[in-house]
Amino acid sequence: MKISIIVPYRERANYLETLINQFSSQQEFPRSDYEIIVVRLGGTRPTNIFNKPNINIREIPIDYNDVFSRGYCCNVGAKQAKNEIIWFVDVDCLPHPFMLKFIQENFSVDNPYFAINTPVIFLNRIKTLEVFGKPTYTWDDYNTIKTSPRFWLKRKASGTSQICMHKESFISMGGIDEEFVGHGYEDMLLHDQIAACLKTYWGKFPHNVEVVWSEKRDLVLTHLYHGERNRTSPYMANYQKNLRYYRQRVGANVMKNNVDLIWGSVDHPPGSNRLK
């Protein structure tokens, strides 16, 4: 089984390089069995990142400089993914070294009704700088952090910074609603879509192979520090609009929000009037 890793991106090249280094040096998984797709929505191309030896990485650049849309990047990456399993990972995160192996062992091509979301630990600024100061972020470091709450911004929680599922399921439900532009709630609506489509609930049956979420503690995602919310920035300013839109959509037919719409197309970047 092969996996397509999709990374939404605009800036923070040091975060992206650290993430790529983790895949190229730390994952317990054959490099030939996965590809990394960096969907760059505007911004500047970090040229040194796409020359890593022995790693299958490609960039989808989109000429767009309005407010960033993580969901749109995920949709574009999913539609252009070559493999049957897609894994969305935010650029400011470091995945567990056994995550790819776990995906391969637990997903089946014949069973599209399965998805994974894992708990997240949030590093503070000092610990994040330590990570950037090392050639690699070793998993001895990871195990130390996991047992040291003083390094967390908050308690370990079920995060929205990574999700893995079958491409077939993601496409059939219309992907992520692209009316969410800026920070907030596109991932929560995706959770609701998955739960509705797969007829189950987040964390309800963690040992059933056909459930939506897995809360395995050993697969904790490490989230790097990137500052507190700044609601004066264009990206953060849409937070309340996105919340209102989420509340509207969650009561509707969340199973297929984008059906009959053009979505996930590099020729149709986000930005309608619905949120205004």
Measure Cα distances from 38 to 30, 89, 174 in Å. Answer: 19, 10, 21
Share of the chain above pLDDT 70, in %: 75
**How much is the pTM?**
0.85
Where in the chain are the domains?
3-256
Residues 118-160 have pLDDT tens digits of 777 788 888 888 888 877 777 677 777 766 766 655 445 555 6
pLDDT (0 to 100) of residue 53: 65
198 CB-near residues (< 8 Å, 6+ apart): 113, 114, 115, 169, 210, 211, 212
Q: What does the angle CA 211 – CA 222 – CA 176 come to, to the nearest 5 degrees?
A: 50
Question: Which has the higher per-residue pLDDT, 104 or 39?
Answer: 39
Neighbours of 255 (CB within 10 A): 16
Max intra-chain CA distance, the chain: 48
pLDDT of res. 276: 40
170-225 per-position pLDDT tens digit: 888 888 888 888 888 888 888 777 777 765 444 444 444 333 344 445 677 888 88
The burial of 213, by beta-carbon neighbours within 10 Å (0-12 exposed, 13-18 middle, 19 or more buried), is given as buried
- In this predicted structure, the answer to whether residue 24 has a pLDDT above a threshold of 80 is no
- Candidate ranges 161-170, 205-214, 267-276; pick with highest mean pLDDT: 161-170
Q: Which two tokens stand for residue 237?
A: 């300013």
Task: Give the closest residue to 8 by CA, choosing from 259, 229, 190, 275.
Answer: 190
Residue pair 193/100 in contact (Cβ under 8 Å)? The answer is no
pLDDT band of 273, cuts 50, 70, 90: very low
What's the mean pLDDT when you consider all of the chain? 77
CB 57 within 8 A of CB 36: yes
CATH of domain 3-256: 3.90.550.10
Q: What is the pLDDT of residues 33-54, one digit of tens each?
A: 889 999 999 888 887 777 766 6
Six-digit token pair at 229?
């919310």
Question: How many angstroms separate the CA atoms of 209 and 217, rounded?
Answer: 17
